[in-house]
Amino acid sequence: MTDGRTTWQVFFAPDRIDWAGDELLSRALLSLADDEDSSSAWLPWAGRPFFLNDAGGPHVALNGFFGGAKMRNRAASTNRRYAYTLSVWVNFLAARGKGWDSAIEDDVMDFKFWRRSDPRNPRRVSGSAWASDLAALAMFHDWARRVVDGPPLFATADAGGRFRMPFAGSRVRGADLRPSTIRGADVKWLSPRAYRRWRDVGIHGLTPSGTERTRWRPRSQSRDAAFVDGLYGSGLRLQEWSSVLTLELDREVSSGQYASFRLADACAKGLHGHGYWLRGDVLEQVATYKETERAAAVRSARESGLYEGMRGRMVIEEARGGVLRVSTLRGGTSFLSTVQVNDLSPAERLRLLVRTTDGLEPAVLWLNEDGSPRPKDAWYKAFARANARVRNAGIDRLECRPHTLRHSFALRWFAVGRLIWSRQIEGMDAEHQRDLREQFGDTWSLVQTMLGHSDVNTTKNIYLEPFRGLETRLLLEYGKSVLDAEPLLAVLSGDPRVRLLDETERGL
């Protein structure tokens, strides 16, 4: 199959299709409905990407790829990101008069140049975005090679991330397609004090000197503060923390202690849930939010009838040991079913309600001001507002994004882990040090566990990359006297990607 100069567009299947009065849809989709008397159906492939050309014809290979088991079991955000990348890729090829199945090594190299460097491209991408593009291309063409006998555009990457191009007569074998540069000025890690400065100014609205502003009218301040402290304190990804249910945070501890929780498989990257920990002070903030802003939002939503009118709502009738009995409204009729909390996807959680003595309310923890469940994407606006406040306060290079907090969590706990390790091994000989490492693991393994990584190399090479080039001996010279991450992080003061809080900045 060759696509020629056809233009391709990507679409995403809706959660449901209403077909009342449409004979074509009724014939085509009635088999998908749970109730034959219903005028609509919840689609089993809701959210799945699909590609059509300008004449309405399907892209067989791409639609097959996203309909396959590998992509069906990946997060919705990964599917969307890969879909947009592959849409750009096939249209880039089409502009050259080529189809996906005739792509060669030179096309990939030219695509990299166009995406990253070509001045004729008004939307050039960053190095990290290109790395994601490369992963999407590699996965699609690997699938195509095995399933539909497509060209072997990529073979397995070597340890350095270089993709071998196995074409006969290739001009450049073993070409390194990784991004050649990543902007050195991009801050990816915040020290604990730098994070607190960002939160206090950006979320709480304090002045740089720490005093309250006059005429400060915060919007959802307790919610946003609890959310960002939870992200930073747990190391969870944005999708993971934004999908937590109130019933999953079922422990209370004092402010200086930690409580352990488990991230559901259906919400975790790669569908591999894992344990995470939250300090008591974060849980207290969550409780304050639930009792104030969240409760007010729920009351407002009940008065407006928002929950009663929610389409496709799933109401928890009984919860016991991680198992829910849920009634789902379809076609005017309620159907009872049993579901595991562990199996509820982020999208399903947004439709999940709890029946209380006061009426219905969302089961998901985080809500918008009108009481509706707050989706993941809405949090980007909260971070953008906070970053704008910090900039307006005249603080330089203190910008934070959701994933910055995950990186910063890793950096902080590596520093703490190093301090603990240095105390444990002080005075030990090499053999006893080795025994201790075998029993409890090293600092890399500690952070790997806390982040939920399956491969410790991801922890080392991405999340803790600033520490890799430092001598262990140098690390152990810092912070021995006090269990504080900040003195140890001072060894990274020369790295422009790590934002520390300078002593001279505290009185700004």
Helix and strand tally (H, E) in the chain?
A: 20, 13
Q: Is the pLDDT of residue 240 over 90?
A: yes
| Residue 358 shares a structural domain with residue 411 | no
pLDDT digit string (tens) for 412-442?
A: 777 666 665 555 545 555 554 454 444 444 5
Which of 101, 131, 147 delimits the end of a domain? 147
pLDDT digit string (tens) for 149-192?
A: 666 665 444 434 444 444 333 343 445 565 554 443 355 778 88
Nearest CA-CA partner of 265 in 254, 278, 275: 275
Alpha-carbon gap, residue 98 to 107, rounded angstroms: 10
Write out the residue range of the structural domain in which residue 129 sits: 8-147
What is the pLDDT averaged over residues 10-22?
Answer: 68
| Residue 422 shares a structural domain with residue 307 | no
| Residue 445 shares a structural domain with residue 486 | yes
Are 153 and 165 in contact by the 8 Å Cβ rule? The answer is yes
Alpha-carbon gap, residue 138 to 102, rounded angstroms: 15
Tell me how many domains the chain contains. Answer: 3
Q: Is the pLDDT of residue 230 over 80?
A: yes
What is the pLDDT, as a whole number, of residue 287?
95
Identify which has the larger pLDDT, 490 or 107.
Answer: 107
| Residue 111 shares a structural domain with residue 227 | no
| Residue 221 shares a structural domain with residue 254 | yes
Alpha-carbon gap, residue 73 to 339, rounded angstroms: 18
26 CB-near residues (< 8 Å, 6+ apart):
19
Q: What is the CATH number of the domain that holds 310?
A: 1.10.443
- Among 30-44, 76-90, 168-182, 418-432, name the most confident range: 76-90
**Is residue 204 in a domain?**
no
Q: Is the pLDDT of residue 78 over 60?
A: yes
**Is residue 475 in a domain?**
yes
| Residue 221 shares a structural domain with residue 351 | yes
- Banded model confidence at residue 131, pLDDT cuts 50, 70, 90: confident
Question: What value, to the nearest 5°, has the Cα angle with vertex 47 and ends 41 and 48?
Answer: 105
Here the tokens at position 382 are 């909260």
What is the pLDDT, as a whole number, of residue 30?
44
What is the pLDDT, as a whole number, of residue 305?
94
| Residue 85 shares a structural domain with residue 124 | yes
Q: Is the pLDDT of residue 10 over 70?
A: yes
- Banded model confidence at residue 23, pLDDT cuts 50, 70, 90: low
| Residue 343 shares a structural domain with residue 415 | no
The neighbouring-strand residues paired with 338 are 325
**Is residue 29 in a domain?**
yes
E strand or H helix at 458, and its extent?
helix 456-458
| Residue 385 shares a structural domain with residue 412 | no
**Is residue 170 in a domain?**
no
pLDDT digit string (tens) for 347-394?
A: 999 999 999 999 999 999 999 999 999 999 999 999 999 999 999 999
What is the pLDDT, as a whole number, of residue 390?
93
Query: What distance lies between CA 369 and its chain's CA centroid?
Result: 23
What is the pLDDT, as a whole number, of residue 19?
52
**Is residue 300 in a domain?**
yes
What is the pLDDT, as a whole number, of residue 155?
47
- Among 33-37, 342-346, 487-491, name the most confident range: 342-346
Alpha-carbon gap, residue 377 to 380, rounded angstroms: 6
How many percent of the chain have pLDDT more than 70?
Answer: 66
**Is residue 495 in a domain?**
yes
What is the pLDDT averaged over residues 476-503?
Answer: 56
What is the pLDDT averaged over residues 50-54?
Answer: 88
Which phi and psi (to 5°) does residue 381 adopt? -65, -40
**Is residue 240 in a domain?**
yes
What is the pLDDT, as a whole number, of residue 171?
41
- Banded model confidence at residue 312, pLDDT cuts 50, 70, 90: confident
Which of 390, 411, 437 delimits the end of a domain? 390
Nearest CA-CA partner of 399 in 407, 408, 390: 390
How many percent of the chain have pLDDT more than 90?
Answer: 34
Which of 355, 372, 390 delimits the end of a domain? 390
What is the pLDDT, as a whole number, of residue 168?
34
| Residue 495 shares a structural domain with residue 373 | no
What is the pLDDT averaged over residues 310-336?
Answer: 86
Nearest CA-CA partner of 9 in 93, 101, 83: 83
Identify which has the larger pLDDT, 162 or 306.
Answer: 306
| Residue 362 shares a structural domain with residue 257 | yes
Strand segments (E) across 66-150: none
State the average pLDDT for the chain: 77
Cα of first residue to Cα of last residue in the chain, in angstroms, is: 64
| Residue 31 shares a structural domain with residue 112 | yes
**Is residue 188 in a domain?**
no
pLDDT digit string (tens) for 248-300?
A: 998 878 777 888 899 999 999 878 888 898 989 999 999 999 999 999 999 99
Alpha-carbon gap, residue 328 to 16, rounded angstroms: 14
